[in-house]
Amino acid sequence: MESLAAVDARLHRELQSRYEALVPVLRHGTQLGGKRLRPALLLLSGAAMHADRTAKNPLTTEESATTEDHVVMATVVEMVHTATLIHDDVLDKATTRRHVPTINARWNDDTSILLGDYLFAQSFYLAATLPSTLACRLVGQAAQKVCEGELRQVLGRDWLDIDEETYLDIIRGKTAELTRVSCQIGADLSGGDEGQVEAFARFGNDLGIAFQIADDFLDLWGDDDNVGKTLGTDLQQGKITLPLIRLLRHDDNAVAMAALDALRLPPEDRLGRVMPLLRKSDAAEYTRKVAESYRRSAIEAISGFAPSSALESLKTIADFAVDRRF
Q: What residues make contact with its own copies under the rule CB under 8 A?
A: 17, 19, 21-22, 25, 83-84, 87, 90-91, 107-111, 113-118, 120-122, 124-133, 136-137, 139-141, 143-144, 146-148, 150-152, 154-156
| Pick from 253, 255, 242, 218: nearest CA to 293 | 242
Q: Classify the C-alpha dihedral 158-97-82-4 as positive or negative.
A: negative
CB 33, min distance to its own copies, A: 17
CB 305, min distance to its own copies, A: 29
CB closer to its own copies, 128 vs 231: 128
CB closer to its own copies, 83 vs 262: 83
**How many Cα atoms sit within 13 Å of 295 on the Cβ side?**
21
Q: Could you write out the DSSP letters of every residue in 47-113? A: HHHHHHHHHH-TTT--S-SS-HHHHHHHHHHHHHHHHHHHHHHHHTT-SEETTEE-HHHHS-HHHHH
CB closer to its own copies, 17 vs 64: 17
CB 150, min distance to its own copies, A: 5
CB closer to its own copies, 19 vs 253: 19
CB 196, min distance to its own copies, A: 23
Q: What residues contact residue 209 under an 8 Å CB cut-off, 6+ apart?
A: 168, 171, 172, 175, 176, 294
CB closer to its own copies, 133 vs 316: 133
CB closer to its own copies, 19 vs 59: 19
CB 208, min distance to its own copies, A: 17
CB 109, min distance to its own copies, A: 8
Are the C-beta atoms of 159 and 238 separated by less than 8 Å? yes
| Pick from 107, 40, 102, 96: nearest CA to 230 | 96
